[in-house]
Amino acid sequence: MNSNISLLFPILFPMLCGIAVGLIPALKDEKRRRVFVLTALSISFLLTISQILLPEASLYVCTLAPKAEISFAVDAVTRFFAGLIAFMWLMSGIFSFEYMKHEKNHNRYYCFYLLGEGAMLGVAFAANYVTMYLCFEWMTLMTLPMVLHSQTEDALKAGMKYLLYSFAGAFAGLLGIPFLVRFGTTLDFIPGGVLDMTLVQGHETLLLGVAFAVILGFGAKAGLFPLHAWLPTAHPVAPAPASAVLSGVITKAGVIAIIRVIYYQFGAAFLRGTWMQTALLCTALVTIFMGSSMAYREKILKKRLAYSTVSQVSYILFGLFLMNTTAMTGSLLHVLCHSVVKDGLFLCAGAIIYKTGKTDVEELTGIGKEMPVVLWCFTLCALALIGIPPMCGFMSKWYLALGSLSSSIPVISWLGPVILLISALLTAAYLLPITIRGFFPGEGYNYSALVKKEPNAWMLLPLILLAALAAFTIFPQPFLAMVENVTASLM
């Protein structure tokens, strides 16, 4: 691979723009700030696309200590996640230009919004464990102010929980570095893993325990049980565009880290068929069922969507933990589906809150009469999350079920599809009633007081685009080809 300093551009550019928003007084003007942030997000997206379309490249930055380097690279995983990150950050950013009018401290929000994008892209472009870990921690610190943004008592409590859970998980993730230095050949990301089996012999149980702790730790960011509780606490208090990236994008940092740990460090061949794999699969299935059950019982809309994220991201982890090609394909397809759909759902919730002030599900009766475009977008995204064909969730869950059925672990092979089906039914039970009551409020609805409350183009454009993308399985080949390319590099 060729050394290419331009790999730093997608990472540093949004960070520098974020600092500029925080420091330049002229950008306190709303119109100037909007133009600047939109330009920054657009250029960041183009810079990211320009890098992931080029041949594989790497960049060594510096050495922190023996076997601890800062370096970045482009590989199949980078291409898959970096483009998704930049696109979703752009969509939520466009939506926020109108939504943030009813919030305070706009410059501070956009400062950390752009800093968070740069850190998240750093996780995707990282070429080794140390670089990924540092960017992972930086991302936590840069996204924390978005949770704290309103500075209410609830926001402060949520921010503390987000920080504590993230640091606890990252501490477990840090555990992997000394053991991989001792029993591995490098901390660079090498497909198939880096363990030196001559050194590993006799220490298999120890390394499996370390791998389990590391994966569980990074799983905190992905909402994996038992480190999931920050999600339903942080989402309701954060601004809706921040909730969208927290759910649809930032949770994927945990997914990226777990992919790197399993398939590029310890190696799937070493982990496959062990007690650790079974334990991780059971944990993922518990999280899927628990998240859907809690979402079904929850009455606050954004909190319901947060519990839904706990469940849906563990679909992705379940596929990763199965460690076979079919399940991996389903897992990566669900990364695309969940990012698009959950961003769309949270932005729909934000549009409703912005225009009506309603936050509880019970208050949304008749909302489809007031905001039909928003509720249609919500409905399309809901159908995709449930997995109803031809929406995107159908294809990803189909591959996950097939991957589970082909597993060599006896109970998991049939229990996996059963839990996936039950979770899909629960997803329908907590999302579709919002649509039904929204469009068909019943005889008690006061039609004489009906006032249209559709948001403006800044909000509607991202909603319509994300809702349209939720049906990407109508034209599946480009997405399947992209996912299969990543899968081929891992398995």
Per-residue pLDDT reduced to its tens digit, 342-401: 999 999 998 999 888 888 888 888 888 888 898 999 999 999 999 888 888 888 899 999
Percent of the chain with pLDDT over 90: 42
Residues 4-46: tens digit of each pLDDT: 788 889 999 999 999 999 888 888 888 898 999 999 999 999 9
Residues 223-248: tens digit of each pLDDT: 888 888 888 888 788 888 888 888 88
Strands (DSSP E) contained in 29-124 are 57-65, 68-73
- Sheet arrangement for strand 2-3: 2-3, 57-65, 68-73
**340 half-sphere exposure, CB direction, 13 A CA radius:** 26
Residues 214 and 133 sit within 8 Å (Cβ to Cβ): no
DSSP designation for 3: E
pLDDT score, position 3? 67
Q: Which of 315, 297, 322 is nearest to 307 (CA)?
A: 297
Residues 248 and 225: their CA atoms lie apart, in Å, by 18
H/E run at residue 281: helix 275-297
Residues 46 and 147 sit within 8 Å (Cβ to Cβ): no
Q: Give exposure, 217-247, as e/b (b: 16+ Cβ within 10 Å).
A: bbbbbbbbbebbbbbbbbbbbbbbbbbbbbb
Handedness of CA 203, 214, 48, 28 (dihedral sign): negative
Sorted by where each begins, the domain ranges of the chain are: 272-491
Residues 57 and 2: their CA atoms lie apart, in Å, by 5
H/E run at residue 480: helix 477-490
pLDDT score, position 357? 83
Show the tokens assigned to 459. Answer: 């909000």
Residues 209 and 203 sit within 8 Å (Cβ to Cβ): no
Residue in the block written with tokens 């294809």: 395
Percent of the chain with pLDDT over 70: 97
Show the tokens assigned to 457. Answer: 């183009």
Enumerate the β-bridge partners of residue 59. 72
Residues 77-130: tens digit of each pLDDT: 999 999 999 999 999 999 999 888 877 888 889 999 999 999 999 999 999 999
DSSP designation for 361: G
Q: Decide if pLDDT at 2 tops 60.
A: no
Residue 390, preceding peptide bond in cis (omega within 30° of 0): yes
Residues 242 and 149 sit within 8 Å (Cβ to Cβ): yes
C-alpha 10 chain-centroid distance: 19
End-to-end CA distance of the chain: 21
* Amino acid at site 286: V
Q: What is the pTM of this model?
A: 0.91
Q: Decide if pLDDT at 50 tops 60.
A: yes
